[in-house]
Amino acid sequence: MRFKDKVCLITGGTSGIGQAVCLRLGAEGGQVIVLGRDKIDGAETVRLITKAGGKAIFMACDLAKPRVISATVQKVLAKYQRIDVLVCDAAMMTFDPLLSLPLPQWDLLMLVNLRSLAQLTQLCLPHMPKGSAIVAVSSVHAHQTTANVVPYATSKGGLEAFVRGMSQELDRKQTRINAVAPGAVDTPMLWSNPNVKSGAEKIDKASVGTTEELAAAIAFMASSEASFVHGTTLVVDGGRLAQL
C-alpha cells in the first residue's frame, strides 16, 4: 500500500493511461482525485476504484482553461489541505502538417499539454509535503517522432525540459519531479491517430503496451521506492527506441 492515505491528483483520469493510474493508486490506498472533462467517464473511473475498495472522487476540469484549473486546485485543497502526488497525464494531438495548422490549434495544444503542467506545479507545490512527487507523462515522440505531429512532439520535448529544469529548483527530499515516456500503448489516442490508420506510422501490435504496464511505471516513479530518482525521464516503450 505505497499510497495509503496519500492525496493523489491525476489529470486525464477518465480514460487510457490516466484511468489506469487512477485505478492503480486507488488500489494502493491513495485518495484519488480524478480530473477530466467527461462527467460520465469520470463517474465510471470512480465506480471502478470504489468497487475495488479504494477511495476516489471526480472533479470536472478542462485544462485548456487556466481559471478552471485554479478553481479545481482550490477545491482539492479546501477538501484535503494537501496534495501528495500529482500526475499530469492529459494531452491532445493534432495531425496536420505545420503549414496547414491553424495557429490557434497550436496554442490550444500547448495550453493542455504544457502550460497546464506549469500551472498545476505552481499551484500544488506550496501544498505538497515532504516525500511528495510529481510525474509528468511524456512520449517517445519527444525523442523520435513522425510527420504531422510537430506540436505534440514539441510539447513533449518541452515537458521533459521542464522536468529537468524544475528538478534544479526542488529539494528531492521534499518533492521529486520526473517524467515517464510511453511508447505505443493500447489507448484510444493510439488507434485514432490518422498516421497509424493510414500506415504512415507503423505499429507492431505485438509490441503495443498496456495501460496497466504504464500505470505500474508511473506508480513506481510517484512512490517512495523511487526516492533517489529525480529530474529524469523513464522511457517505457518495450524497447522501441533501442531498435531505432
DSSP 47-73: HHHHHTT-EEEEEE--TT-HHHHHHHH
Question: What span, in angstroms and rounded, lies between the C-alpha atoms of 165 and 234?
Answer: 16
Question: What span, in angstroms and rounded, lies between the C-alpha atoms of 77 and 149?
Answer: 36
Q: Which is nearest to 139 in space by CA: 127, 150, 153?
A: 153
Q: Among the options 58, 152, 162, 220, which is catalytic?
A: 152
Q: Is there a contact between 137 and 116 (Cβ–Cβ < 8 Å)?
A: no
| Alpha carbon 40 to chain centroid, angstroms | 20
Question: What span, in angstroms and rounded, lies between the C-alpha atoms of 237 and 143?
Answer: 12
- Does the annotation mark 152 as catalytic? yes
Q: HSE (CB half, 13 Å, CA atoms) of 131?
A: 8
Active site residues per annotation: 152
